């Protein structure tokens, strides 16, 4: 790509659209978007209002982007999405990434010869596990996941200091495991903010720390989360080897934990993305075996939360992706009847709206999509916006209906950041 339309391309990516998704939203070929961004073509006048709407800019600002200028009104918005609200958001993100790099390097250091404990290490060993569990609980229960970010950032700083102090090999292994735990939570925060590259970096560091700490279940979970980033970016072939390795590692872990069953559930999603119904069903059946475990002790509610309660919605999503709405409906309606978090309910509602599009049932599309939009208004998570993008991609054949056209505009206006 030449530099002529660099700001245009950056703005498109910052709004959460791939070139293909952007083209689909505009009913043009992906190659047309490529030509726009390379400066080889310019959008026609009648296309520009819709482009400005998708980019979240005014028409004058769009004109500036087409000439690769950075207008004042879009300079802040065209930056990468921030984790928090405030002028120094990106600086805070860079601080966190810097702390990740520091602690990642310290995890890799050889064991020190001295066995003296520092005060930071003692405090971490006494309180760290309980604090991390509480952070995961707040994360799981909060509609806005970013509320835990300040505490996580402070704990990263403490972990970095703790890893620099001398300690026994046993203490060092435990600190590595605690670091792997915290890295996975940071990765979840980045993922929720649609920062997939940053999330993948966190999961890679978490896998390295878990390996250093000798915890196979932590290690497998970190790799599974990394694979999920690839799935979310529609790169199922890249996710497959990560998941295969995660499954092998999980089998070397604690058989009383649900780790291997969670890996199988994510493998099912990868097989669905690749169009393999039989393999998907086998993986789902393996995941269902989690119900044979002692539910109270099969997960820790933190870095491992899989208890099988989500399998109905996951099965429905897999069947929907495989183009089997007949199989998807029962699973999704079963899931909707269960108690669900705000984000999970929005995901199921979005999938049911997509199911309506499969059936060309406008009433079903509108009914479920409007409910999902109502949940999006209650949360500032980018996850719901991304889920509803999947609905929006199916609306083109129905845009002559005013209700669907209104839905299309409302979904386009949703934030794609947390």
Claim to verify: residue 154 and residue 93 sit in the same structural domain:
yes
Q: Do 54 and 165 reside in the same domain of the chain?
A: no
Q: What is the number of other CB atoms lying within 10 angstroms of the CB of residue 118?
A: 14
- 315 assigned to some structural domain: no
Q: How many CB atoms lie within 10 A of CB 338?
A: 13
Burial 287-313 (b: 16+ CB within 10 A, else e): beebeebeeeebbbebbbbbbbbbbbb
Count of structural domains within the chain: 4
Question: 208 in a domain, yes or no?
Answer: yes
The CA distance from 24 to 20, in Å, is 6
- Is the pTM higher than 0.75? no
Are residues 202 and 104 located together in one domain of the fold? yes
Nearest to 53 by CA among 12, 83, 13, 3: 12
Cα three-residue angle 138-143-144, rounded to 5 degrees: 85
49 and 124 housed in the same domain: no
In a domain, 165, yes or no: yes
Per-residue tens of pLDDT for the chain, all 418 residues: 444 677 788 777 767 778 888 888 898 888 888 888 888 888 887 788 889 888 877 776 787 787 765 544 444 333 333 443 344 555 555 556 555 654 655 565 444 444 334 456 777 777 778 888 888 888 887 766 777 888 888 888 777 777 777 568 888 888 889 899 999 999 998 888 778 888 888 898 899 889 989 999 999 999 999 999 999 888 899 999 999 999 999 999 999 999 999 999 999 999 999 999 999 999 999 999 999 998 668 888 889 989 998 899 999 999 988 989 889 999 999 999 988 888 889 999 999 999 999 999 999 999 999 999 988 877 766 678 888 888 998 999 999 999 999 999 988 887 654 4
Do 57 and 118 belong to one domain?
no
Domain contains 180 = yes
Mark whether 279 and 205 lie in a shared domain. no
My answer on whether 338 and 394 are in the same domain is yes
Task: Among 165, 197, 212, give the residue marking a domain's end.
Answer: 212
For residue 281, being part of any structural domain is answered with: yes
* CA gap 278, 238 in Å, rounded: 20
| Angle between helix 259-273 and helix 216-232 axes, rounded to 10 deg | 20
Q: Which residue's structure tokens are 């990642």?
A: 104
Domain that holds residue 107: 84-212
Within-domain flag for 16 = yes
Tell me the C-alpha distance between 351 and 364, whole Å: 11
Q: Are residues 181 and 99 in the same domain?
A: yes
């Amino acid at each position: 790509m030449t530099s002529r339309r660099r700001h245009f391309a950056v703005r498109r990516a910052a709004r959460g659209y791939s070139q293909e998704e952007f083209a689909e939203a505009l009913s043009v070929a992906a190659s047309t978007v490529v030509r726009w961004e390379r400066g080889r073509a310019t959008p026609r006048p009648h296309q520009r209002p819709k482009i400005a709407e998708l980019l979240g800019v005014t028409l004058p600002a769009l004109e500036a982007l087409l000439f690769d200028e950075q207008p004042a009104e879009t300079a802040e918005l065209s930056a990468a999405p921030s984790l928090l609200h405030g002028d120094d958001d990106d600086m805070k993100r860079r601080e966190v990434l810097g702390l990740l790099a520091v602690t990642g390097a310290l995890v890799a250091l050889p064991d020190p010869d001295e066995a003296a404990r520092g005060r930071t290490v003692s405090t971490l060993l006494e309180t760290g596990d309980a604090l991390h569990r509480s952070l995961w609980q707040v994360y799981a229960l909060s509609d806005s996941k970013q509320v835990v970010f300040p505490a996580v950032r402070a704990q990263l700083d403490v972990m970095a200091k703790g890893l620099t102090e001398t300690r026994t090999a046993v203490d060092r292994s435990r600190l590595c495991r605690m670091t792997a735990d915290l890295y996975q939570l940071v990765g979840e925060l980045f993922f929720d903010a649609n920062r997939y590259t940053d999330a993948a970096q966190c999961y890679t560091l978490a896998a390295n720390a878990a390996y250093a700490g000798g915890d196979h279940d932590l290690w497998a979970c970190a790799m599974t989360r990394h694979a999920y980033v690839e799935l979310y970016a529609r790169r199922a072939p890249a996710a497959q080897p990560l998941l295969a390795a995660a499954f092998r590692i999980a089998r070397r872990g604690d058989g009383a934990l649900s780790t291997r069953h969670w890996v199988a559930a994510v493998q099912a999603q990868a097989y669905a993305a690749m169009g393999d119904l039989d393999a998907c069903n086998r993986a789902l059946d393996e995941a269902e075996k989690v119900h044979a475990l002692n539910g109270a002790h099969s997960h820790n509610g933190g870095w491992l939360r899989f208890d099988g309660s989500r399998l109905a919605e996951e099965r429905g999503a897999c069947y929907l992706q495989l183009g089997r709405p007949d199989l998807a409906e029962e699973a999704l309606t079963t899931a909707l009847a269960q108690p669900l978090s705000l984000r999970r309910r929005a995901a199921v509602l979005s999938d049911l709206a997509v199911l309506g599009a499969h059936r060309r049932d406008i009433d079903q599309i509108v009914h479920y999509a409007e409910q999902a939009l109502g949940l999006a208004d209650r949360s500032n998570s980018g996850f719901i916006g991304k889920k509803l993008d999947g609905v929006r991609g199916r609306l083109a054949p129905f845009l002559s209906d005013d209700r669907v056209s209104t839905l299309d505009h409302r979904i386009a206006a949703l934030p794609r950041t947390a």
